[in-house]
């Protein structure tokens, strides 16, 4: 294990009977890094996080979190990390303050340190003055910030966030990512999973996992390089489905996918001009409203990676 | 230690927040006692009785008053015709008929054997058997009184065929200890205390843990550096306190409402109760490690606490009259041991030497249940 890494995962594997949930996964996260973990449902994201948090024992391989082997000292790991899950893991019948007191208690905070942390968390969550509100009466965004606050009450150097922004309005999501950014800039390592690929752009580095395996790893820009020699063309058409079928018939087109009402075509051949493309679509009876090159989004990358790994 | 306190304080606040559940836990058991206590009774009183007195003598009237004064029978009226009597039974106006033959008094004085007929409506076999017993006892007592009177009367003694009656006469003089009036309430109420406390403790413990599983808060707590032992202690201790309070309330209610005596020592009673409740909570905990939803947990908890405690503990059905195999099963029902201890303390004022084996059995049950629950929990926890 390397001392300078916050998280060091080597050949991590977890089986449930015959099913391999996580398959020989290796990656590392530097201190203070904001690391995104992307994958479809059931890809093995949560299983990986549970192993990294010392909740689930690896079947094979090793993982070091904050320099501690999760396989041999899961309790030591728990003291150093914060965890917040996709479900709101707060006690809803209790007040804001009672939740903070409970988590302070289980993390062994007391006295002045607890008072200072409590103040910090309430301010961070924007809940100062609402300590006596029942948690179940809080709007989703507030509850989420409180959950994050409870997870970092003990000032962990590494924080795991498992789909933290599920089911919350865009404004609250935005505020939440600002908080995550603050944490990271203060040197806290953050590993976050998300379904929202626009959010993933905030991450310093990303790992895409598919069927328990690491499918891609790098910064958002690095990942987008897979499209360097395969430009993406966005076609606006009156009949998107018909346009997709027509594009798929062209040799120059590698594949197509639907983005809203537009069609994204990944080109195999860079020489074909937009005019030629429009002309051949028109002969197929498609009414073309616009053709333009687009820079690849993370969604393009994700779909491409998952498709190629799935086909392999 | 601080972590147990943190979990315990949180649990207590959650319980206090949920007033309705708290009231249910504290007072419904006592209310149950009231309900069951009055509804469940094996005593039969004021059985409606018709008398067919063909003798109409002093002696026959004495026999009838013996029936009425016993309190078991209430005289509806006299009726001579057999058909009318049959109709009274058919219509449910009377449940028993006492038929006294003519020459009853004369035959008694001549020391001839006399037969008195008692007819009982058998549509409820249990009641019929009990009423038969009452009637038999009353008539036998009446006969014994006649015999003693005869023995005491020198004139009558000489009159019996000129031969003096002498020699020993065996008279049964029953003394029923601890419950002289044979009130079935005194037998049933300790059983009810065990029954209700068992259900409350098992259900409340199982639900409190499964609720956290269902809501996802357990996952969050597991991510924190809290061991399963601290977590479980913190979670169960508040419920132990509540079940304990509730059980003591039931005991008081039983003393006030059913005149249950308290002849033994309170510390011993509370100790036995504590041992019993800890075992019940461990059973609830074990259920919580098997069930994933509150609904399933509730059903398993209710069935596994209610049925064995009701049927296999000696609460209603005596264990000694069960088939051997079933008797074997009763050995794993904790209420069986608690009932022995409870009845001994409350009714007999016995000290620990009389039932220490039962307390040991309760301790074994609690230890095994805690052991199994922690094995399962450790597997689930990490």
Write the pLDDT tens digit of every residue in B135-189: 888 888 888 777 777 776 666 555 444 444 444 556 666 677 777 766 777 778 8
Most confident of B29-43, B122-136, B184-198, B287-301: B287-301
Nearest residue of A to residue B10 by CA position? Answer: A102
Q: Which residues contact residue B11 at a Cβ distance below 8 angstroms, ignoring those fewer than 6 apart?
A: B208, B234, B235, B238, B239
State the average pLDDT over residues B201-216: 90
Where is pLDDT greater, at A111 or A89? Answer: A111
What sign does the CA torsion over B119, B122, B123, B124 have? Answer: positive
**Facing A105 at nearest CB: one of B2, B217, B219:** B2
Q: Do B215 and A92 touch (CB under 8 A)?
A: yes
Which range (B58-62, B64-68, B124-128) has the least confidence? B124-128
CB contact under 8 A, A102 and B216: no
pLDDT at B276: 95
Contacts of A289 (CB under 8 A, 6+ apart): A236, A237, A238
Q: Tokens 């479809």 belong to which residue? A: A40
With CB atoms and an 8 Å threshold, state whether A93 touches B17: yes
Report the residue from A88, A93, A102 with minimal CB separation from B18.
Answer: A93
Can you tell me the distance from the alpha carbon of A256 to that of A245, in angstroms, rounded to the nearest whole number?
9
CA distance A233 to A270: 10
Of B72-76, B111-115, B378-382, where does mean pLDDT reach its minimum? B378-382
Whether B211 has a pLDDT exceeding 80, the answer reads yes
Q: Phi then psi for A15, rounded to 5 degrees?
A: -110, 145
Size of interface A-B (CB pairs under 8 A): 75
User: Is the entire prediction scored with pTM above 0.80?
Assistant: no
- What pLDDT does A48 receive? 93
Name residues whose C-beta falls within 8 Å of residue A233's C-beta, 6 or more positions apart in sequence: A264, A265, A267, A274, A277, A291, A292, A293, A294
Neighbours of B43 (CB within 10 A): 11
Give the orientation angle of helix B266-290 with respect to helix B228-257, to 10 degrees.
Answer: 130
Of A89, A93, A98, the CB nearest to B220: A89
Question: B6–A74: do the CB atoms touch at under 8 Å?
Answer: no
Q: Judging by beta carbons within 10 Å of its beta carbon (0-12, 13-18, 19+), is residue A218 exposed, middle or buried? A: middle
- Tens digits of residue pLDDT in B118-136: 888 888 877 788 888 888 8
Q: Where are the domains of chain A?
A: 7-218, 227-311
A49 to chain B: nearest residue by CA?
A: B223
Per-residue CA distances from A96 to A150, A224, B106, B297 (Å): 10, 42, 92, 29
Q: CA of A82, closest CA in chain B: separation in Å?
A: 8
| Residue B114 main-chain phi, psi, to 5 deg | -120, 140
In the structure encoding, which two tokens stand for residue B360, read together? 């040991």
| Interaxial angle between packed helices B228-257 and B19-39, expressed in degrees from 0 to 180 and rounded to the nearest 10 | 40
The answer, for A107 touching chain B at a CB cutoff of 8 Å, is yes
The pLDDT of residue B159: 47
Per the CB < 8 Å rule, is A57 touching B222?
no
Better pLDDT: B71 or A177: A177
The whole-angstrom distance between A229's CA and the closest CA on chain B is: 45
B222, A92 Cβ separation under 8 angstroms: no
CA A297 to chain B, closest CA, distance in angstroms equals: 34
* Contact assessment for residue B359 and residue B352, using Cβ atoms and an 8 Å cutoff: yes
The CA-based diameter of chain B, rounded to the nearest angstrom, is 101
Which residues does B contribute to its contact with A (CB < 8 Å)?
Answer: 2-3, 5-7, 9-10, 13-14, 17-18, 215-217, 219-227, 382
CATH 1.20.58.1290 assigned to A7-218: no
Burial of B275 from C-beta contacts in 10 A (0-12 / 13-18 / 19+): buried
ipTM surpasses cut 0.90: no
- Judge whether residue A151 has pLDDT over 80: yes
Pairing of strands B96-100, A288-294: unpaired
What is the DSSP pairing of strand A232-237 with strand A288-294? antiparallel
Q: How far is A94 from chain B (nearest CA, A)?
A: 6
Q: What is the CA radius of gyration of chain A?
A: 23
As a whole number of angstroms, the distance between CA B38 and CA B22 comes to 25
pLDDT: which is higher, B362 or B229? B362
Alpha helices in B91-153 (DSSP H): 104-109, 125-152
Q: Residues A191-232: pLDDT tens digits? A: 999 888 888 889 999 999 998 899 899 998 898 888 878 888
Question: Chain B partners of A144 at a C-beta cutoff of 8 Å?
Answer: none
Round to whole Å and give the CA distance between A241 and A13: 41
* Half-sphere exposure at residue B215, Cβ-oriented, CA atoms within 13 angstroms: 17
In angstroms, the Cα distances linking B121 to A200, B75, B93, B338 are: 84, 15, 11, 38
| Confidence category of residue B20, pLDDT binned at 50, 70, 90 | confident
pLDDT for the residue numbered B164:
46
> A182 — contact with chain B (CB < 8 Å)?
no
Report d(CA B282, CA B351) in Å as an integer: 27
- Where do the domains of chain B lie, and which CATH numbers do they carry? 2-41+183-381 (no CATH), 47-159 (3.40.1710.10)
Provide, rounded to the nearest whole percent, the portion of chain A with pLDDT above 70: 98
| Interatomic CA distance for residues B334 and B325, integer angstroms | 17
Average pLDDT of span A33-50: 90
CATH class of A227-311: alpha beta
Cα separation, B102 vs B55, in Å, equals 4
B10 interaction partners in chain A (CB closer than 8 Å): 91, 94, 98, 101-102, 105
């Amino acid at each position: 294990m390397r001392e300078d890494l916050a998280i060091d995962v080597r050949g991590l594997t977890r089986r449930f009977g015959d099913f391999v949930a996580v398959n020989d996964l290796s990656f590392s996260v530097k201190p203070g890094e904001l690391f995104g973990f992307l994958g479809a449902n059931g890809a093995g994201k949560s299983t990986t996080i549970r192993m990294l948090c010392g909740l689930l024992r690896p079947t094979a391989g090793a993982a070091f979190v904050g320099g501690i082997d999760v396989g041999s000292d899961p309790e030591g790991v728990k003291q150093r990390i914060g965890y917040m899950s996709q479900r709101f893991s707060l006690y809803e019948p209790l007040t804001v303050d009672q939740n903070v007191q409970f988590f302070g208690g289980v993390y062994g905070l007391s006295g002045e340190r607890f008072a200072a942390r409590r103040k910090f968390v309430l301010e961070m969550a924007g809940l100062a003055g609402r300590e006596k509100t029942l948690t179940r009466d809080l709007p989703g965004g507030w509850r989420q910030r409180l959950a994050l606050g409870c997870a970092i009450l003990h000032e962990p150097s590494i924080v795991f966030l498992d789909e933290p922004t599920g089911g919350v309005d865009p404004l609250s999501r935005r505020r939440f990512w600002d908080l995550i950014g603050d944490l990271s800039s203060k040197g806290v390592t953050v590993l976050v999973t998300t379904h929202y690929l626009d959010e993933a752009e905030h991450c310093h580095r990303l790992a895409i996992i598919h069927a328990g395996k690491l499918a891609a790893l790098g910064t958002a820009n690095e990942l987008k390089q897979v499209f360097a020699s395969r430009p993406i063309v966005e076609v606006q058409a009156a009949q998107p489905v018909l346009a997709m079928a027509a594009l798929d018939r062209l040799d120059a087109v590698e594949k197509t996918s639907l983005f809203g009402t537009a069609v994204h075509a990944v080109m195999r051949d860079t020489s074909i001009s937009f005019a030629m493309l429009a002309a051949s679509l028109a002969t197929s009876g498609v009414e073309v409203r616009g053709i333009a090159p687009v820079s690849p989004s993370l969604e393009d990358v994700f779909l491409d990676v998952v498709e190629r790994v799935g086909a392999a | 230690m601080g972590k147990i306190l943190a979990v315990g304080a949180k649990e207590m606040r959650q319980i206090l927040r949920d007033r309705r559940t708290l009231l249910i836990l504290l007072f419904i058991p006592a209310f149950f006692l009231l309900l069951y206590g009055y509804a469940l009774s094996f005593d039969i009183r004021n059985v409606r009785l018709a008398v067919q007195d063909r003798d109409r003598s002093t002696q026959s009237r004495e026999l009838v008053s013996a029936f009425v004064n016993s309190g078991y029978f209430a005289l509806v009226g006299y009726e001579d015709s057999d058909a009318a009597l049959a109709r009274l039974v058919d219509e449910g106006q009377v449940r028993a008929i006492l038929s006294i033959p003519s020459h009853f008094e004369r035959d008694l004085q001549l020391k001839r054997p006399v037969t008195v007929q008692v007819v009982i409506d058998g549509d409820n076999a249990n009641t019929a058997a009990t009423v038969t017993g009452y009637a038999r006892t009353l008539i036998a007592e009446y006969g014994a009184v006649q015999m003693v009177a005869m023995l005491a009367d020198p004139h009558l003694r000489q009159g019996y065929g000129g031969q003096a009656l002498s020699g020993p006469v065996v008279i049964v003089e029953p003394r029923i200890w601890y419950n002289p009036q044979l009130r079935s309430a005194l037998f049933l109420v300790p059983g009810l205390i065990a029954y209700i406390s068992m259900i409350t403790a098992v259900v409340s413990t199982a639900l409190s843990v499964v609720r956290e599983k269902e809501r996802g808060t357990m996952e969050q707590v597991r991510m924190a550096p809290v061991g399963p032992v601290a977590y479980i202690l913190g979670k169960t201790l508040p419920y132990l306190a509540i079940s304990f309070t509730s059980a003591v309330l039931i005991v008081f209610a039983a003393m006030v409402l059913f005149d249950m005596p308290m002849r033994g020592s309170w510390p011993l009673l509370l100790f036995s109760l504590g041992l019993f409740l800890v075992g019940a909570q461990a059973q609830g905990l074990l259920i919580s490690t098997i069930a994933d939803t509150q609904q399933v947990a509730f059903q398993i908890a209710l069935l596994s606490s209610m049925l064995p405690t009701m049927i296999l503990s000696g609460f209603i059905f005596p264990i000694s009259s069960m088939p051997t195999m079933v008797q074997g099963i009763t050995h794993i029902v904790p209420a069986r041991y608690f009932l022995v201890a409870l009845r001994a303390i409350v009714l007999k004022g016995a000290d620990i030497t009389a039932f220490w084996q039962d307390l040991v059995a309760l301790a074994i049950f609690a230890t095994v249940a805690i052991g199994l629950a922690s094995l399962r929990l450790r597997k689930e926890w990490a």
